[in-house]
Amino acid sequence: MAATSTARRRKAPRDPYQQVTDRILTELEQGTVPWKKPWAALSGVPALSLATGKPYRGINWMLTSMAGYESPWWLTYKQAAERGAQVRKGESGTPVFLWKTAKIRLNTAEKRRRAEQDGLKIRRDAKGEYAEAFMARTYTVFNAAQVDGLDPKLTPSGLVDGGPEWSQIERCEQLLRKYGGGPKMLMGGTRATYNLRTDLVRMPDQGRFHQAGDWYATLFHELAHSTGHPNRLDRPTAQTPGDHRAYAREELVAELAAAMLCAQAGIDSAPLVEQAAAYIESWQRSLKADNRLIVIAAQRAAKAADHILGRQALPTEEA
Q: What is the pLDDT of residues 129-153, one digit of tens each?
A: 888 776 777 889 999 989 999 887 7
pLDDT value at position 163?
41
The answer to whether residue 7 is domain-embedded is: no
Q: Is residue 302 part of a domain?
A: yes
Predicted pLDDT of residue 270: 60
* 3 part of a folded domain: no
Residue 250 lies in a domain: yes
Predicted confidence at residue 146, as pLDDT, reads 93
Query: In the prediction, which pLDDT does 116 show?
Result: 79
Any domain includes 203: yes
Residue 316 lies in a domain: no
* Segments of the chain scoring below 50 in pLDDT: 1-12, 38-43, 155-166, 315-319
Residue 243 domain boundaries: 12-309
pLDDT at position 37 is 61
Residue 15: its pLDDT value, please? 77
Looking at the structure of the chain, the number of domains it has is 1
Residue 2 lies in a domain: no
Q: How far apart are CA 247 and CA 237, in angstroms?
A: 7
Residue 128, pLDDT score: 87
- Determine, yes or no, domain membership for 180: yes
> Is this prediction's pTM over 0.85?
no
pLDDT at residue 92, as a whole number: 93
